[in-house]
Amino acid sequence: MTTAKLAGAMEAQRERLLPCVHCGFCLPACPTYNRLGDENDSPRGRLHLMQAVVEGRLDPESDAFQVHIDRCLGCRACEPVCPSGVEYGTLLELARETASTARAPDGLTRGLLTVMASRMLREILFLGGRTLRVTGLASVMVDVLGRIRFAGRLRFALAMLSATRPSVRLGQGVMADGMESQDTEIKDAHAPRVGVGSVGILRGCVQEGLYGRVNDATARTLDVNGYEVRTVTRQDCCGALHAHGGALTAARNLATRNIKAFERAGVDWVVVSAAGCGATMKEYGVLFEGDPMEERARAFSAKVRDVSELLAETGPRSGASVDCTLAYDHPCHLMHAQGISSEPLKVLEAVPGADVRVIAKADECCGGAGIYGMTHPDLGSRIGGDKIAAVRDAGADLVCTPNPGCMMQIGAGFCMEGDAQEAVHPVEVLDESYQRAGYYR
């Protein structure tokens, strides 16, 4: 695509760029600007670069555009503090589409997006990953590679994989990893169940491949709280990684499959337990702007809910005591992109014995951002290191955060330091409480 055509693609978003008045309110909220102190690595600086491309003053193939757009975490912490309501997340994805068309992404990013777009390749990848995790080879290799120079990316990837293991501390009553939710029944003796709607659960890609237990816990806890959980077949990856990486065509293809799958299921709510997936699915309407699918996409997005939203809305039933301290961290795509912060804490309030400690600067990104820790190891580790320090300061038994990427990023940081700190999802804690209370049989 020519430079003129690339600039034209950004030109179509001129109206979204205009609201920015360069006030600077976004600067203190930006993790990359806070670490680097470079105006080009701030939200308003990147918006200025996008405007320069629109006006033809900057070549989208230039390093000035490519480097700073690529360096953004996409955490969207700038959006809640922006007085002008700039849709930064949408603009970033469009800018990355422009950047990736002008200059091909690195091989790691291209390879990952290719695998995630194929159900068969994903299954092979995650089968291999689970094998390395179950056998303990992932953890062993993290230690071995720590003694080898230039093995940083591979070591971090294996540390992320190792961090997905089921919690040992939170396993006294919980069901075996991988047990399907439909294989259990709910005891009705605790309280009368009230029909509050039907739900279909996004199984996802990373979530299903490495955190299937979270999907199952989501189904069980919703069932206990009166929701009719329906199986949704032929669903796919949500497309979040592709959208964030600028591969918008692939993202639309995946989104189309999900829209059709959940339409066929006829559910009242589309439930997601991964913050990054939920944020993207709630914005399918924007993804399909100007497309014949736009109306259906907007109708679909209106049904998307994070699992904590539904549980908090009905007031989750209390279970048995789970004595533990939890260092809670807010996922960026839950807090900033979806505006959800109190709901996961309300879910945890339903667990007697759980001491929840929200860590310092819980509103700042952990440095995960998909595979950011591998594509930007230096900056990612700096941001992640600060998050790990905050978790340590909380003095908790477990890290608790409702997003697989954050669980992997924080868990990997501890793993690389030789610390066995475990990361869990809030619904895992609630599920453990329900299991101990005897709600399942």
List the CATH number of the domain containing 235.
Answer: 3.40.50
Q: Is the domain of 307 the same as that of 256? A: yes
Domain that residue 407 falls in: 315-437
Return the pLDDT at 162. 93
Give yes or no: residues 113 and 39 share one domain.
no
| Per-residue pLDDT reduced to its tens digit, 371-427 | 888 888 889 889 999 999 999 999 999 999 999 999 999 999 999 888 888 999 999
- pLDDT value at 11 more than 70: no
Range of weakest confidence among 188-192, 265-269, 301-305: 188-192
pLDDT tens digits, residue range 191-205? 445 668 999 999 999
In a domain, 328, yes or no: yes
Residues 209 and 300 in one domain: yes
Interatomic CA distance for residues 60 and 66, integer angstroms: 7
Whether 65 is covered by a domain: the verdict is: yes
What is the average pLDDT across 67-82?
94
The phi-psi region of residue 316 (left if phi > 0; otherwise alpha if psi is between -120 and 50; otherwise beta) is beta
For residue 401, being part of any structural domain is answered with: yes
pLDDT of residue 106: 74
The residue among 258, 285, 311 that closes a domain is 311
Query: Which of 290, 311, 332 finishes a domain?
Result: 311
Number of CB atoms found within 10 A of residue 180's CB: 12
Residues 338, 279 share a domain: no
Contacts of 369 (CB under 8 A, 6+ apart): 73, 74, 75, 244, 332, 380, 405
Q: Are residues 265 and 148 in the same domain?
A: no
CA dihedral 241, 246, 247, 248 (to 10 degrees): 100
**Residue 173 confidence (pLDDT) above 90:** no
Question: Residue 424 has which token pair?
Answer: 């869990």
Domain match, 87 and 144 both: no
Per-residue model confidence (pLDDT) at position 54: 85
Q: Are residues 366 and 429 in the same domain?
A: yes
* 424 located within any domain: yes
Residue 168 belongs to a domain: no
Looking at the fold, whether 131 and 75 belong to one and the same domain comes out as: no
CA gap 58, 436 in Å, rounded: 61
Task: Provide the domain count of the chain.
Answer: 4
The CA distance from 171 to 74, in Å, is 34
pLDDT reading at 101 higher than 60: yes
% of the chain residues with pLDDT over 70? 90
CATH, residue 73: 1.10.1060.10
**Residue 167 falls inside a structural domain:** no
In a domain, 170, yes or no: no
179 has a pLDDT exceeding 70: no
Q: Are residues 306 and 186 in the same domain?
A: yes
Determine, yes or no, domain membership for 176.
Answer: no
DSSP-derived secondary structure letter, 317:
P
pLDDT exceeds cutoff 60 at 7:
no
In this predicted model, which residue has the larger pLDDT, 441 or 37? Answer: 37
Same domain membership, residue 278 and residue 235: yes
205 Cβ contact list (under 8 Å, min separation 6): 116, 122, 126, 237, 238, 241
Same domain, 213 and 155: no
Q: Which of 287, 311, 335 is the last residue of a domain?
A: 311
Question: Are residue 52 and residue 139 in the same domain, yes or no?
Answer: no
